[in-house]
Amino acid sequence: MTGDSGTAGRGGQRKGAQRLTPAAVKVLETASTLFYEKGIRAIGVEAIAEGAGVTKKTLYDRFGSKDELIVAYLRARDELWRDTLVRYVAEQARTPQEKLLATFGALRDWMRERNPRGCAFVNAHVELPADHPGQDVAREQKSWLLGYLTDLAAEAGCAEPGHLADQLLILHEGAGIAHSLQSVPRAMERAQEMAVLLIEQSLSPARASTRAN
């Protein structure tokens, strides 16, 4: 895992990642688990250091402050989600339309395996002060996902890729919340069914004509 603040392309991992020492990796892994499962504000550096088997001095030497550790946690989770999503799409889909729909399959698996308490970035947005640097990480993550969906929509030949991407991002976010709260049965599958209709409606006239023939 990495805790850098470098930029990333839409293909997945951030660029310019800085390698962490073994102790820093342990601290980051422990913090990531505790922050997500218990909440960022509920967990102090003492609990993280104890869980990681290091001293608080080691934690501060590696990350500087709890705020910087929070940023590292969010960036590491962002990197993991990007890598998971891009890899899933590449492995599960071939056509441009299939790639767009595959993003919902990736989200379904992610929610079941790593995201039972909902989106970590939305959770952080709620917990952190408005001026906390972690807010920028959360916004960057959603901006990257919107850009990724826009690129896929353009590749699929949609007439208005940005508009479709907006709609699909809203579906992603809503499905994640409905799944976490168990307010809608089969939320991910239902979101994907809606995505099929949106994609069909967004196909350019030329592509729609080709499909009809």
pLDDT tens digits, 181-213? 889 999 989 999 999 999 999 985 655 444 444
Separation between Cα atoms, residue 100 and residue 88, nearest integer Å:
11
pLDDT in tens, 16-52: 446 789 999 999 999 999 999 999 999 999 999 999 9
Indicate if 90 and 180 belong to the same structural domain.
Answer: yes
The domain that contains 27 carries what CATH number?
1.10.10.60
Answer yes or no: is 7 within a domain: no
The CA–CA distances, whole Å, from 32 to 25, 35, 43, 70, 134 equal 10, 5, 11, 8, 13
Q: What is the DSSP letter of 21?
A: P
Assess whether 43 and 146 both reside in one domain: no
Distance CA 119, CA 111 (A): 8
Name the domain count of the chain: 2
In a domain, 3, yes or no: no
Same domain, 110 and 184: yes
Residue at 4 is within a domain: no
CATH number at residue 146: 1.10.357.10
Task: Name the pTM for this structure.
Answer: 0.85
Q: 184 with 192: CB under 8 angstroms?
A: no
C-beta separation of 27 from 18 below 8 A: no
Q: What is the pLDDT of residue 182?
A: 87
Task: Classify residue 60: in a domain, yes or no.
Answer: yes
Q: In terms of residue numbers, what domain contains 37?
A: 19-64
Contact 13, 79 (CB under 8 A): yes
**Cβ pair 32, 124 in contact under 8 A:** no
